Each structure stands twice: as structure tokens, then as C-alpha cells.
Amino acid sequence: MLKVSGIRASYGPVLALHDVSLEVEEGSIVTILGSNGAGKTSTLRVISGLLRASAGTVEFRGRRINRRPPDAIVSMGISHVPEGRELFTELSVQENLMLGAYTRRDRAVKTDLDRVLEYFPILAERRRQFAGSLSGGEQQQLAIARGLMSRPRLLLMDEPSLGLAPLVVQEIFRIIATINREERVTILLVEQDAELALSLAKYGYVLETGRVVIADEAARLREDESVRRSYLGY
């Protein structure tokens, strides 16, 4: 569904991605692992159009998207839940969700809103509250819910567990698994919590200083010596 080939990208004079290639199969959960600064977030930003690649291509469902602006990419069915959530803190929960559906012109937005709130009942309670007043876990849920509102086929998630308590993280990952299963949304997940990510994912890529160093099925990655020692801690 998604094919990234030979991406090279930099922030000014700093080269963040040297040569990144990966593939995401439709309907699966794929995870990108790596330490800080490895280029995981940058990869997602290239895919969603926030960062321009100086070389390489990104293909989504057969169409080249790497030169297109973010708003076009969202309309094509990719939704990016960014690192740090980036909510509209001065707007209400409801308004945040409605903004998620900005590119949609069909009538099913309202039913989708209700459906999304079923997944995240706590958001339904806090519908009219300002997004800035929610707790960390609730904000992450809102960010994911907002991402779902555009009815994406591919959901990019950047470190959903960041700064959250373990129990909350488990709950969120449970929801992610449900979304993938029930809504058939393909998920590309960037995570620091390698253990959790690998338990959920089907396939995994390990990034190091802007390059893919390991690409394998998640189950095999969990067994892999080097991965275990570097990223799983044992």
C-alpha cells in the first residue's frame, strides 16, 4: 500500500535521512523502531508531506505523493498523528474532532463522530471542554480520534506512548489494535517502547542515524539478539 524508496531528507544543513526504504502492506501494523535522532519522526513527516525529501520517492496506492503538499496527502487517505499530539488546545474536543474531518465533504461525518466517541468514551464525556484541559492520556486519545475522523486508509502514529503512564499506554495500544482490526485501517507506528510495538505489529523496521538497519517480521525481531540487547534491554 505504501512504498518508500531511497528517501533522503535534511533539516537545513543537517542530513536526517540518508537512504530510507520501507513497505507497508495493506491492513497490517508496521512499526519503526530506533533510538532518539534515528530519523523515525522525519520518515513520517516525509510521508505526510511536512518534510520535503531531496531524493527518493513515496508511493501510496500506486500514486507518487512525495512532491504533494500535506493537505493533498490527507485527502488521499493518509492521516498523521504527530509526535507531541499537536492538538488545538484552545478549541474544544468536538472542534478538534471536526477539524479532523476537514477534508471530507460527505454526509457521514456525524455518524463517524459518534463511532469514534464509542472508541473513546472519555472524550464523549469531555466533548465541550478545551483540549488543553485534558490529561495526557486523554489528549493522546483525542489526537488518535482526530486522526481517525478523516477516515484514513493509512494512519501514521508517532510515539503515542510518550509521557504516558503504563496503564494508559496499554489501554491506548489496545484501542490501536481494535482500530486496525475493526476499521481495517493500516497503521505505521513509530515507537520508543519497542516491546509493546513489536507485540502489536506484524512487521518492523529498525532505523539508525537515518538508515534502515534491520527489516524483518516482528516476531523474529523480538527473538533477534541485537535488537533485544539494543532496544529491549535484555
Print the binding letters for residues 39-68 with other proteins: x by CB under 8 A, - otherwise.
Answer: ---------xxx------------------
For residues 165 and 187, what is the distance between their CA atoms, to the nearest angstrom? 22
By three-state DSSP, how is residue 2 classified?
strand
Closer residue to other proteins, CB minimum distance, 88 or 228: 88
Rounded to 10 degrees, what is the CA torsion of 73, 75, 191, 31? -80
Return the residues of window 99-138 that contact other proteins according to CB under 8 A.
99-100, 102-106
Q: Which residues contact 86 (CB under 8 A, 6 or more apart)?
A: 143
Minimum distance of other proteins from residue 194's CB (angstroms): 25
Q: Is 213 in the site for other proteins (CB under 8 A)?
A: no
Q: Is 75 in the site for other proteins (CB under 8 A)?
A: yes
Q: Is 87 in the site for other proteins (CB under 8 A)?
A: yes
Contact in structure between 30 and 24 (CB atoms under 8 Å): yes
Return the residues of window 160-189 that contact other proteins according to CB under 8 A.
183-185
Closer residue to other proteins, CB minimum distance, 38 or 185: 185
What beta strand segments (E) does the chain contain?
2-11, 14-24, 29-33, 55-60, 63-64, 78-81, 154-158, 186-190, 203-208, 211-217
Contact positions vs other proteins (CB under 8 A)? 48-50, 69-71, 74-77, 79-80, 82, 86-91, 95, 98-100, 102-106, 146, 150-153, 183-185
